[in-house]
Structure 1
């Protein structure tokens, strides 16, 4: 199965919750899916990756699985966190860890750091360059509410500038009772970005996993 790179319009848009629920939904249907966070900034007090800890709620890693390659304590952009700790992010190491997971599992879902324009090394190498090096189709997580037309359209335009293979958009935190504006956003986003809305998922502690399986099915349709 083709891997997926999940990126976002900005930090705290809900990528980790989305990825965790998607992994759970697919594993319940017998797909050996795993999540992978190449770079995490803002380690927990126990010096673990907060996002990888979320993944472990629905997946018990097998021997050799690396769910997070680079973990930094400072909660800042990856390029700055690495500099503050006098370390270097090496894309080759990320590629090796991804390739191992890809060989061992049916599907690897990679979660980016922050939004799409986040630098990993410097202004020349960031999330777009990593996505292209991995050769993965992208899924963009955007907020369903106010401001998404601007944020999402600008993010997709930047992705096109960087030759990133974005295939679809997920509107996260979609309300149970959307306003007129929120209901109109999906149609307008498809027009402004040229990408399909492959899913609308609410923010809840008890996710409807069938919605996430539907997102995956819609995403696969874009690859045909």
Structure 2
């Protein structure tokens, strides 16, 4: 992995594909190498009884942080798309503030990981999708996490086609088992999808709870 300054946007084929696990694993690997890096979860939806979000807590622990505001800008109680979760609190995600904050945070480190929410077509507002967020982060590499289970091939090919149309085909793709029972889905999903990947896309297979080994 290059040591030059870079921003990476981590998206997925669907919710619960394993974005947070992959992001946490990558940030652990980067920090272990002594790289100046930070992982952000700018938008999080779904809080437990203690008012905490599981994804934020995982990323905080991976970086040795204890303040959610270090990595998160908007968080809402309802486990739903951000447009719906914000509306439930009579709020709207300020997309200009979101993109400005992400850029500012990225400027402080050599490598910044931005974890999105769900897949490309998840609405952040009523007229702004995760795909628009990626478009508003033009210098970021896109990494794609595939949750290997029934339906994953279709979801992955749809996502790849959308990214291709955006001119943002992924530079890395992670075929991930979101639960142990899905470990056996990794190989067939990967074999079906690989013919549709760009030749320079780096491919990873991750059994449940496997750590990412970056090269």
The TM-score, its normalising length taken from structure 1, stands at 0.82
Between the aligned partners of 1:151 and 1:72, the Cα distance in structure 2 is 26
Could you say if the C-alpha distance between residues 186 and 90 of structure 1 is closer, same or farther in structure 2, counting changes exceeding 3 Å? same
Q: Is the 8 A contact 1:146 1:182 kept in 2?
A: no
Aligned match of 1:42 in 39, 46, 54?
46
| Shift of residue 76, structure 1, vs aligned partner | 1.0
Alignment correspondent of 2:135 = 132
| Shift of residue 49, structure 1, vs aligned partner | 2.9
Between the aligned partners of 2:188 and 2:58, the Cα distance in structure 1 is 32
Superposed counterparts of 1:172-191, under 5 Å: 172-173=176-177, 182-191=186-195
Could you say if the C-alpha distance between residues 178 and 77 of structure 1 is closer, same or farther in structure 2, counting changes exceeding 3 Å? closer
Q: Is the 8 A contact 1:37 1:110 kept in 2?
A: yes
- SS of 2:58's partner is helix
Between the aligned partners of 1:46 and 1:8, the Cα distance in structure 2 is 27
Alignment correspondent of 1:52 = 56
Superposed counterparts of 1:99-138, under 5 Å: 99-122=103-126, 124-135=127-138, 136-138=140-142
Alignment correspondent of 2:213 = 213
Alignment correspondent of 1:15 = 19
Encode CA deviations 1:21-52: one digit per residue, 9 max, x unaligned: 11111111111221111211102222233211
Could you say if the C-alpha distance between residues 193 and 62 of structure 1 is closer, same or farther in structure 2, counting changes exceeding 3 Å? same
Identify unmatched segments of 5+ residues in structure 1: 218-224
- SS of 1:7's partner is strand
Encode CA deviations 1:96-143: one digit per residue, 9 max, x unaligned: 321232122221101111112101012x31101111112212111002
- Aligned residue pairs total 208
| Shift of residue 159, structure 1, vs aligned partner | 2.5
- The answer to which structure, 1 or 2, has the higher relative contact order (CA under 8 A, 6+ apart) is 2
Encode CA deviations 1:27-86: one digit per residue, 9 max, x unaligned: 111112211112111022222332111111121349996311110011111111111111
Could you say if the C-alpha distance between residues 60 and 126 of structure 1 is closer, same or farther in structure 2, counting changes exceeding 3 Å? same
Q: Is the 8 A contact 1:140 1:166 kept in 2?
A: yes
Between the aligned partners of 2:124 and 2:56, the Cα distance in structure 1 is 19
Aligned match of 2:92 in 88, 103, 117?
88
Alignment correspondent of 1:24 = 28
Could you say if the C-alpha distance between residues 6 and 152 of structure 1 is closer, same or farther in structure 2, counting changes exceeding 3 Å? same
Identify unmatched segments of 5+ residues in structure 2: none
